[in-house]
Amino acid sequence: MADYHFDVDIQQKLHHGEVVCGDVFYTRRIKEEGRVILVLSDGIGHGVKANVLATLTASMALNYASLHTQPDVAANVFMRALPRSSDGKESYATFTIIEIEVGGMVRIVNYDNPPTLIFRNGELFAPREIEVNIRGAENVGKILRIREFKPVKGDRILFMTDGVVQSGLGGKRYPMGWGLEQVKLFAQGQIARETEISATRLARKILNQAAMNDAFEMKDDTSCGVVHFRQPREFMLITGPPFYKIKDTDFVKRVTEFPGKKIICGGTTAEIIARELDLEVNIQHRFGYAEAAIPPAADMQGFEMVTEGVLTMGKVEEILETYTGETRLGSSPPEEVVKLLLDHDIIHIIVGTRINWAHQDPDQPMELEIRKFVVKRIVRLLEERFLKNVTVELV
């Protein structure tokens, strides 16, 4: 089993004046095989047309990579499937595919995107690269560049579209564009300054610098993604009391023995744990958030926070569903829960199955009556969209 977790994030900015991004990023976790696939595609041009080309390419790349199709075979299919422009000229999209085997190899397949930058111990790491011609007579001269390596804890992979390296093009400072070498030096500087810099923070810093190079009016759709292999952080979320009251003591023992950070979502659950451990639950009377429908959080020794149960969990699911790289989280209880979930890698959720009769109100939506359904949706989002390792235990 690998002694690392990989943290993935991508930041994007649109071509100035556009409302749709011509760069598309997809992820897929294949749990049974212990594989994660990342695809970044850049459609030619910008706006809706570019988005369509990139979406087609990224979705096909994801599906073919999932089926272990040889990259040169799959790329031939992409090229033939993409629509041609009305003047008969070729329409195409570039792409970068990163396949990560948990505890195994990383494979990077790149077609016409800027080369990926791999950092190890703060220095550029350059595994052997092979070039493969894309199959098909119509693809003469089109080359895939493929790298494979076994990652170690601390490695970072930086992948991007042309908008990053070409930022500043035509300006006084970078008349030929920012360039890959400058991007490398900038990233190295950030890593040296903050050795534990997160994937999100590093990607955001690089993208912000690219935006500055373009005087904050992007001349192209611009995407920068980072994969960071690091020490995993574990977290526990407890929601709902155990089905059998006789199990309360065992339940509390299980929770208190967990070494990482933990929170409680549910007043009854908090009362049981407080009673068993002889602790006090202190309500936080904060007025800094607008969600009046969500009860305030509370403090309890040994826990990051205590919140109300199903209403809070329902709001957590809603935030995760709409979360993007531009989302800025506030200080309401659900937003604080989301921050903790996104800041950790291995998430243990304990779901108590005792019915809380306070929520058996026919006017309440069904998803708030049955906490298991809400948890199921949260788990799906955490695994599929945020690539977290999640375990669920029903008690």
Q: Are 319 and 338 in contact (CB under 8 A)?
A: yes
Mean pLDDT of 282-302: 73
> What pLDDT does 365 receive?
42
Average pLDDT over residues 284-312: 78
- Dihedral sign for Cα 157, 162, 167, 170, please: positive
Q: Backbone phi, then psi, for 92, in 5-degree steps?
A: -155, 170
Taking residues 138-151, what's their average pLDDT?
87
Q: 271 vs 291, which has greater pLDDT?
A: 271
Q: What is the pLDDT of residue 371?
A: 73
Q: What is the mean pLDDT of residues 103-125?
A: 93
> Any idea which of 55-64, 294-303, 351-360 has the lowest mean pLDDT?
351-360
The alpha helices in the chain, defined as continuous H runs, are: 47-66, 71-81, 162-165, 180-193, 199-213, 248-256, 267-277, 310-322, 333-342, 366-369, 371-384
Q: What is the pLDDT of residue 248?
A: 80
pLDDT grade, residue 364 (50/70/90)?
Answer: very low
Least confident segment among 62-66, 184-188, 245-249, 318-322: 245-249
Each residue's pLDDT tens digit, 89-104: 666 789 999 999 988 8
Mean pLDDT of the chain: 87
Q: Are 144 and 65 in contact (CB under 8 A)?
A: no
Per-residue pLDDT, 363: 46
Work out whether strand 298-300 and strand 303-307 pair parallel, antiparallel, or are unpaired: antiparallel
Q: What 3-state class would DSSP assign to 206?
A: helix
Show the domains of the chain with their CATH numbers.
5-230 (3.60.40.10), 234-394 (no CATH)
- 34-38, 165-169, 257-261, 359-363: the lowest-pLDDT one: 359-363
pLDDT digits (tens, 9 = 90+) for 206-250: 999 999 999 999 999 999 999 999 888 899 999 888 877 777 888
Question: Do the bridges between strand 35-43 and strand 23-30 make them parallel or antiparallel, or are there none, so unpaired?
Answer: antiparallel
pLDDT at 39 over 90: yes
Range in 41-45, 97-101, 247-251, 303-307 with the lowest mean pLDDT: 247-251
Confidence tier at 82 by pLDDT (50, 70, 90): confident
pTM confidence score:
0.84
* pLDDT at 291 exceeding the cut of 70: no
Q: What is the pLDDT of residue 368?
A: 38
What is the C-alpha to C-alpha distance for residues 178 and 251, in angstroms, rounded to an integer?
56
